[in-house]
Structures are given as structure tokens and as C-alpha cells.
Structure 1
Amino acid sequence: MVHSNTFAEFIGRKVNKVRWKPEDLMASTMFVTGSWDNDEDNVLELWGLSSQDEDLAKDFPPKLLDSVQQDGDVTQIRFLDNKFVAVSTDRGTVKLYRIIGENESPTVHIKEVTAWEELHSFEKGQKCCCKDIAVCNYSLATIGEDYKINIISLNTKQVHQAIEDVSSSPLTCICFLTETQVLCCNSLSQMKLWDLRVDKSDITADINNFTQNQVPLTCIAQHPSQKHFIFTGSEEGDVGVWDMRTNSLLTTMSSGDTSALTELAFHPLEPDHMFSCSFGGRLLQWSSKKSYMCRNDPGDLEYSNFWVNTDKVKTRLSVNDVIKPIYSPINSLDIQKQQLVCGADNEAIYLQKHLKL
């Protein structure tokens, strides 16, 4: 069922990434957006909601607090904590910013702290896209069109490790499996796992998806509490569930939307709820049917993680639209507490402040 209390705001730029500013104890009142496909005028923008009032209408439209020019399309945004945020672009650059000031202050702004120029490049210094970045504690991992992984120490602000030629096909997304292991996906429906403690030329695991055609994996998400379970979105709209203890694909799930998935995200506190957005303009909530599960399997320990039971997941899974399909690519989403924000190619951002969980 589509939520009726969703608000939209036209901001005049195609939104490629959107992220809530993290807050521990209360709902966040700030988020950032990164634009793309706007020639030389792409920006990182910081937005503020007016309050934490229950009346969503009072929060919209959000107030633009600050804007910082970017050297190309924004390809990823990752918060390190509630002050620092990393931003990558299609020019191979990653920058670290600090958000200074509070929402109520008229002087709140974004300040550049560090920039890593041309982290990714082709021969003769030709720039190439930084496709994705991942953050874990004091480490930052990047992948690019140059088939390269960079591991940056945020303590020293130096490239700690550079792994060349990591794939035979274009890399698409990356995440930290643990503090010392990075997992990257490519356009051949493969995942590669790297242990940063061993020689940089050695791969830990080369994981192939033999149950499907070679469909590009477009996005990746890690289960919030069961870290060894990895979820991938594909170009055909399917979600794959992987167990990294056995390096195997457990099952695939489909919503019926065959357009490419652009982002997956779990609710951080309610992992029975996963969200996806797609190139086809749909924002979906994937949920377990808890009441049915508890009534029929009160002692099923294996079923305590709903997503990995291949026999039951498809019959006890509900998939619903969070907003009405907009028929324009929704590129990014983020969840914090009971509020969700997403951004799209129709130059709008959407806010749902009362998710049904």
C-alpha cells in the first residue's frame, strides 16, 4: 500500500545520491544530496528540515543550508559519523567534508577537509570514474573504472593500499564485509573478496553466480546484524541473498519490476524490512510477514533470520510501493529512524516521515 503522507520537492537538479546526517538519539533534521548530469554545475547540498514536529507538512519544503561545487557527477556519498562525510565523483576524486554548525544556526555550512585527486585514472593521466566508496571505522575503500581498489587510512589521510586489475569486467559496487575484508561486485554477476591483511596480489575468494545469466550486479547491502549475509541488486531487478561463510548464493527474490535496481538498504533497527529503488521509478519496501512467521514457527531458530530460509522466504515476503511509481529513475534512498528520503532524475526529493514497520 502506498503511503499517502509522502511529500516531494523539486530542487532543479537530478539527484544521484541522498544521505541522512546520522543522529543517535533522535530523528535527523538534516540530509545531503549529490547531483549529476548537469555539465559543470554539479553540487553537494545540505538540507534542513524545520523541526521534528509530527506534522510532516511543517517540514516541507526543506531549507537549503549550504551548497558546494563538485568536479563532476557525484557518484557516492558516505557519512563517517555525524560530522564527516565522504563524496566521490566521476572524475576519480574523493573529498572529505565536515558539517559545521547546528540546524538552527544561520552559519551552518560544509567545509572541505581533505581531497584525494585522481584516485582513479587511465594511462597518461586521463581521469576516470570513481564508481563507489565504502567506509568502515577509519578506513575508506574506493573502486573505479580503472579496475582498481584504493584503501585510504583516514588517520593518516594516505592511500594505505592500492590493488590493481581486480576484475576482468567493470566494477560496480563495494562494501566492507569486516574491518579487514572488502567485497566488490562486477558486471558479470561476480563478487570478489579481498583480505587486506595478506599480500595485495592475492584474492581471498572469487564468487560466481552460476544460477543466473551474467547479469550485472548494480548495488550491494549488508544485513545490519548478520554481517555475513550480503544482498545484491541486479540489472534485471532481482535481489540475490548470499552467505559469505560458504561464498554461495542462497536465493533470489523478485518484485516483478524488471528494471535495474539502483540501491538497496535495510532499516538499521528493523532488519526484517529492506528497501530498494530502481531505474524504473519504483521505491519498494520488502518485509517479512511477522505474525504468520511467529504463529507457525515459534521454535525455528534457522528462521530467526527471515531472509535466508529459501523454502519460506518467497511465500512470507510482502513487497509494497512506498511512493507511487514516478516513471523516472530513482537513484538513491536512505532510512533513519522512521523516516525515508529518496532522490530521482525528475529533479525531486521525496520524504516519507512515518514508515510503517
Structure 2
Amino acid sequence: MEELNLKFVSQKISKIKWQPVPKQSLKVADTFVTGSWDDDVNKICLWKVNSGVQDENLQRDLEPQKICEAAIEGDVTDLCYVAEDQLMVTSSTGSVCMFKHNNHTGLEFCSIWKGLHEMQGESVSCTCIGNRGDDMVATSGEDGRLIILNINQTKPVRIQDNADSCTINSLTFLTQSEILTVNSFGQLKIFDIRRDSDQPVNIFSVNEDNTPLHCVDKHPGQPHIVAAGGQDGMLTIWDIRKDKYPMTLLEAHSAAMWEVKFHPSNPDHLFTCSEDGSLWHWDGSAMNILTNLVAFCWVERMYTIAPMSESSPWISVESSRHKLEINSLLPNKSLPVNSLDIQDSILLCGTDSETIYTVPVPNLC
């Protein structure tokens, strides 16, 4: 069995992201990018891992090798690919940069949108960015603004000044026109960018304590199912079609959860990382077997064949949480684990201990 790799990189890692591979390609993901923070000169770095066979035991060399780097003004706060070779970088200066890399020869600076996020004339952090699969991206920040950019235009397509009254910590596109955000007041909001209004079309709250939410991810096959992580380390699972409150609250980390991620092709598996130095794998596949069996019996009694698209362990997690397996993936806790990303069977995470972990997670593909 492959073992995890620990790489010392001499910089605190704030964000980590796999470079996407073409959907129709048989290529295994082998290149990723990191962003740093809390340094005199922060950087984005491009890394490569060996995706081929390494030895007679069929083990791969998972130690990443740095390909190139580029300096960034301020702390790197988020990373987002808009194409296989086009990378968007947000920073604590309130700006957004775009870089291009070809054939792994270097990072070429392309564009910058300066000072997108500000309050009373002073720049504030641009906290998050998301794209919808084309030239359009959305950013948010400490100013509560929601800004829509076209990467081919120098000025924003739209600025929603009054999207929120507090910091928006994370966002994702639910559909081509709907954006989901989480904020420091413990709210999840949905915005429809086709509307003229800055106001959200829906607001969900975890509880009356207004515990900040830091991260959110949508189910890749069922976008009405979303997972969010909060300042208290709790994992919340929502069905945004139905309830004003989260379907399920799951006790998780002992400190703030910084990132949550569904596996892109096997979403019965979910991953989280935390301020407490832990990295967890939430395995819901056993719950999904139970859900499918129940649904199959129901179909048999009705003497009909129905699509099983509603079958998801995360919808039925409340009634079958005893089937949910949670595995800690790091050998010991240290400083905060700030970011993670998963592709194929390799999980990446970056930490404040100036390390990158490359963690094999078998049987996911």
C-alpha cells in the first residue's frame, strides 16, 4: 500500500489546487498549484508528482517537485482554474490576478483586477473565487461585495455592493446563474445573477448562534446537496430545495473547519481539514448501500422501475449516521491544515507547518 508523502516547502500554504485534466482524457492528475501566506514575499508555486509506476510494488513516487513559481502581492487567499492552463489567484490586497502556464515551463502573468474589494477607500481581502465553467468568475471579500468578472474584460461585469453586510468566506456556482455563498454570520445565501437586485433569493441559517461558516462545496452530481464547515468545526449537510435549516449537523473537528470537498467522481466520499491540524475522510459509501437497498425494495413493491437519482448517503445521513466512517489521514496533529484538494485517488493538503502532504486514498476510482 502506498504511504503518504510529507514535503517541507519553507512557506505556509494557504491554498492548494489540482490542475484540471480534460474530462475525456485518460490522463491522471499529476500537477498542482499552491499559494502561500504570512511571508515577506508570498508565492504561487507549480508542482508535479510522478503519476507512473515507481517500483516492483506498484508504488508511485508521491513526492512533489517544484516546476516554477511567481511572486504575489499580499497573502494568497484562494485559487481557481478557469481552464486547464489558466489560473486565477485572489489576495489579501483585494485584487485578483490571472496566470497562464504552458507545458510546465513557467507561470506567465496575464491580467490583474486591482482593488476589487474595499471599504471606505481602503483595500480589504478578496477571500474567495469561483468559476462556472467558462469565462465568468465570481469573487467576494471582507467588504461583503459579490463581483462578477469576465476574464477577457478589464472591468467587472457586475458589482453587487450590498450582497452581504459581513465577510463572505466562500462561494460556488450552483448553476450558470446561481451563486451560493457562506458568511461570517453563519448564513448560506443563494444569489441569482440574472436579477437586477443585490438581494439573495434565499437565505439559510445553521442556528441562532450565528457561528461563522468558512467553507462550502456542492455535490458534483446533485447540486442541491451542499456541505459547509464552520468556526466551531461542525460539518453541516444541506438540501437547499427543502429546508431553511441544515438537514444534518455532524460533530467534526475541535476547531475551525477551513475546507470541505466532495470527491469529484465518487461523491459518497467527502474530505475536511481544520485549524486543529487534522485531515479527515468521511466515507458514506456504506450508507449509500443501505439507501439503495431500501429504495430497491420500495421499487419492487410498487412493481415499477424508477430512477434512483435521489439516492445519496448525504440525504439519508441522519437515519444512517452509524454507517458513516470517519478516518483521520495524518499521522499526528500539528499546526493548522488550511487547504485540501482531491483528484482521482490522491489527496493534497497544505499546512501552516510549511508542509505539503500527498495522501493516497485507495479504491476511489
The reply to whether TM is greater than 0.5 is: yes
Residue type at the aligned position of 1:15: I
Q: How far apart, CA to CA, are the structure 1 residues paired with 2:235 and 2:316?
A: 14
Q: How far apart, CA to CA, are the structure 1 residues paired with 2:171 and 2:77?
A: 13
- Residues 216 and 66 (structure 1), Cα distance of their counterparts in 2 relative to 1, 3 Å cut: same
Unmatched segments (≥5 aa) in structure 1: 103-107
Q: How far apart, CA to CA, are the structure 1 residues paired with 2:191 and 2:68?
A: 38
Q: How far apart, CA to CA, are the structure 1 residues paired with 2:147 and 2:174?
A: 16
Is the CA contact (8 Å cut-off) linking 1:68 and 1:110 kept in structure 2?
yes
Q: How far apart, CA to CA, are the structure 2 residues paired with 1:52 and 1:252?
A: 40
Percent identity of equivalent pairs: 28
Q: Cα offset for 1:298?
A: 3.7
Q: Cα offset for 1:92?
A: 0.5
SS at match of 1:23: coil
- 1:187-241 per-residue CA deviation (whole Å, 9 max, x = no partner) reads 121122111111133431222234x521110100000100111111011111111
Q: How far apart, CA to CA, are the structure 1 residues paired with 2:289 and 2:175?
A: 33
Q: Which moved more, 1:166-175 or 1:70-79?
A: 166-175
Q: Cα offset for 1:247?
A: 5.0
Is the CA contact (8 Å cut-off) linking 2:239 and 2:247 kept in structure 1?
no
2:359 is aligned to 352
Q: How far apart, CA to CA, are the structure 1 residues paired with 2:153 and 2:110?
A: 13
1:151 aligns with 2:148: yes
Structure 1 segment 130-145 matched on structure 2, within 5 A:
130-137=126-133, 138-145=135-142
Q: How far apart, CA to CA, are the structure 2 residues paired with 1:54 and 1:75?
A: 34
Query: TM-score scaled by structure 1?
Result: 0.90
Q: How far apart, CA to CA, are the structure 1 residues paired with 2:333 and 2:317?
A: 32
Q: Cα offset for 1:251?
A: 2.5
1:189 corresponds to which of 186, 190, 201: 186
1:278 aligns with 2:274: yes
- The structure whose RCO (Cα within 8 Å, separation 6+) is larger is 1
1:328 corresponds to which of 335, 344, 351: 335
- 1:71-123 per-residue CA deviation (whole Å, 9 max, x = no partner) reads 01000001112111110000001111111114xxxxx1111111111111122
Q: Cα offset for 1:177?
A: 1.4
1:27 is aligned to 28
1:166 is aligned to 163
Q: How far apart, CA to CA, are the structure 2 residues paired with 1:133 and 1:224?
A: 18
Q: Cα offset for 1:10?
A: 0.3
1:73 corresponds to which of 68, 72, 75: 75
Q: Cα offset for 1:14?
A: 0.3
- Residues 50 and 231 (structure 1), Cα distance of their counterparts in 2 relative to 1, 3 Å cut: closer
Unmatched segments (≥5 aa) in structure 2: 299-307
Q: How far apart, CA to CA, are the structure 2 residues paired with 1:227 and 1:54?
A: 38
2:260 is aligned to 264
- Residues 51 and 181 (structure 1), Cα distance of their counterparts in 2 relative to 1, 3 Å cut: closer
Aligned residues: 347
1:337 is aligned to 344
Q: How far apart, CA to CA, are the structure 1 residues paired with 2:175 and 2:294?
A: 34
Query: TM-score scaled by structure 2?
Result: 0.89
Q: Cα offset for 1:252?
A: 2.8
1:18 is aligned to 16
Residue type at the aligned position of 1:228: H
